[in-house]
A and B are shown apart, each in its own frame.
Chain A
């Protein structure tokens, strides 16, 4: 079993849609959780940290469920510019990356 697992997608959604991604992790000792965004052939960029109480940044909401060992990312009112691959990152002293979920937002 992989340490961090994500549905690879692709998720194809129309502009304005709400879309949610989940990510499961195997190490219950994990303390740090992040979502990164990676555009095609570019480096990953930090989108947001994920806190135990859940957190929101504009149209993006991240949640953590420690009991079930998953984190989620919700994107509301999708924009064309949201098209990218979203990487889940989980860790304690060393960070583990999921393979990413690809999102395409269409007009």
Chain B
């Protein structure tokens, strides 16, 4: 079964803690993306990677970090510097311009 997996589905953390969200794909796509979605709003791009060992900041990268050591994996770390981390985080990969999304991780920070 080809697809994109994200884990966990729900994640709860205390303020001040870093947390890493997992994203894995077996679609053999070169490009991968991280978005966040807040209630009633569109997706906002956090980071993207067009190729292994390379990534670029999106529109709202502050307080986040990523790595791309393997083609299949693009983990996102939400650091304590992110002021409003509670959100729905979506990972995507793309073939050309068409993006395919994982099921998302709902992060709640209290």
Contact = CB atoms under 8 A, between A and B. Distances in A.
Nearest to A102: B40
Contact of A44 (B41, B43, B44): B43
Contacts, number: 40
B65 interface: no
Given A43-B90, A94-B48, A100 B98 contact: no
Interface string B34-69: 010000111111001000000000100000000000
A43 B91 CA distance: 9
B25 to A, nearest CB: 13
B101 A99 contact: no
A4 B42 contact: yes
Contact of B103 (A42, A46, A89): A42
A53 B97 CA distance: 18
**Size class of A's contact patch?**
20 to 34
Contacts of B97: 31-32, 34, 91, 95
B20 to A, nearest CB: 19
Interface string A14-54: 00000000000000000110100000011111100100000
A92 to B, nearest CB: 9
B40 A46 contact: no
A98 B37 CA distance: 11
Interface of B: 35, 40-45, 48, 58, 88, 90, 97-104
29 contacts: A4-B42, A8-B40, A31-B97, A32-B97, A34-B97, A41-B88, A42-B104, A43-B90, A43-B101, A43-B102, A43-B103, A44-B43, A44-B101, A45-B101, A46-B98, A46-B99, A46-B100, A49-B98, A87-B42, A91-B97, A94-B45, A94-B48, A94-B58, A97-B42, A97-B43, A97-B44, A98-B42, A99-B40, A99-B42
